[in-house]
Amino acid sequence: MSKLNGKIAVVTGGGSGIGLATAKRLAAEGATVLVTGRRQAELDRAVAEIGGAAVAVQGDLTKAADLARLHAAIAARGEGLDILVYSSGVADVAPLAEITAAHFDKIFDINVRAMVLTVQTLVPLMREGSAIVLVGSIAGVIGTPGYGVYNASKAAVRSWARTWTTELSGRGIRVNTLSPGPIDTAMMAAATEEVRAGLAAQIPLGRMGRPEEVAAAALFLASDESSYIAGAELCIDGGMTQV
């Protein structure tokens, strides 16, 4: 029996990478999945790949009007919302001396501000016992040179999961953080072989992860199989930060 039959899910950043892999897995387990992102063409391709009852809702979650449109698209279905996976994110390099206000705002607007406003907007639609999965990163607990702003933004994701776990506990809504390590997405494919080999050498399992492996963990946190897990962080990093 599929684990998510009858469930309604939203996956942000669902047009590519971890978001797309997660949307595919949730749909394969029976959920109706609404994927959102900024690029319509990418979303259209994603919906075609996901199949089933997938729906694309184009929008920039840093904009109030687009958030309202996403809310309306879910509300119009009249079925409420069971799963929210916030997978949108961006990373840019800037060591301390080169951090600008624009660099800071770009990363925190997408990784933190938009996440907070998305959860705030959609929580009223979520049914009793729903699940929120925030895609963080092991960057939130390490100090990679040049990624200070990004690292801080992912630490903030982890912090919000703790706060929302207490604030939403009365409705039985579970909030957890999924923190991937180096994952072999299209973004990572652009890295040089030297960089890729260097990353793999830091991982006890000796390789980078696959988007599908992160998606499997997202499914676990979104499903009733994790019904007694709340406020937690699940690291999908091949042991990189665990040993």
Interval 224-233: pLDDT, tens: 999 999 999 9
pTM of the model: 0.95
Instruction: Flag whether pLDDT at 188 surpasses 90.
Output: no
Q: Give the whole-angstrom CA distance, residue 67 versus residue 72.
A: 9
Could you give the strand order of the β-sheet that contains 32-37, starting from the edge strand earlier in sequence? 55-58, 32-37, 8-12, 81-86, 126-135, 174-180, 233-236
Three-state SS for the chain is CCCCCCCEEEEECCCCHHHHHHHHHHHHCCCEEEEEECCHHHHHHHHHHHCCCCEEEECCCCCHHHHHHHHHHHHCCCCCEEEEEECCCCCCCCCHHHCCHHHHHHHHHHHHHHHHHHHHHHHHHEEEEEEEEEECCHHHHCCCCCCHHHHHHHHHHHHHHHHHHHHCHHHCCEEEEEEECCECCHHHHCCCHHHHHHHHHCCCCCCCECHHHHHHHHHHHHCHHHCCCCCCEEEECCCCCCC
> What's at 97, amino acid-wise?
A
pLDDT at site 52: 78
Q: Give the whole-angstrom CA distance, residue 13 versus residue 182.
A: 18
Specify whether the CB–CB gap between 3 and 225 falls below 8 A. yes
Which residues, in sequence order, are bridge partners of residue 175? 132
97-143: pLDDT as tens digits: 999 999 999 999 999 999 999 999 999 999 999 999 999 999 999 99
Average pLDDT of every residue of the chain: 95
25-72: pLDDT as tens digits: 999 999 999 999 999 999 999 999 998 789 999 999 999 999 999 999
pLDDT at site 53: 82
Residue (of 102, 150, 158) closest to 133 by Cα position: 158
Arithmetic mean of pLDDT, 154-173: 98
Q: How confident is the model at residue 186 (pLDDT cuts 50, 70, 90)?
A: confident
> What's at 9, amino acid-wise?
A
Decide which of 197 and 105 is more confident: 105
- Segment among 17-31, 113-127, 154-168, 185-199 with least mean pLDDT: 185-199
> Which residue among 86, 147, 150, 228 is the active-site one?
150
Instruction: Flag whether pLDDT at 187 surpasses 80.
Output: no
Q: At CA 20, angle to CA 19 and CA 22, rounded to 5?
A: 65
Instruction: Flag whether pLDDT at 239 surpasses 90.
Output: yes
Other Cβ atoms closer than 10 A to 139: 23
> Residues of the chain with pLDDT > 90: what percent?
92
> What's at 201, amino acid-wise?
A
Q: Is position 150 annotated as part of the catalytic site?
A: yes
pLDDT at site 192: 83
Residue (of 200, 180, 196) closest to 188 by Cα position: 196
End-to-end CA distance of the chain: 36
Q: How confident is the model at residue 182 (pLDDT cuts 50, 70, 90)?
A: very high
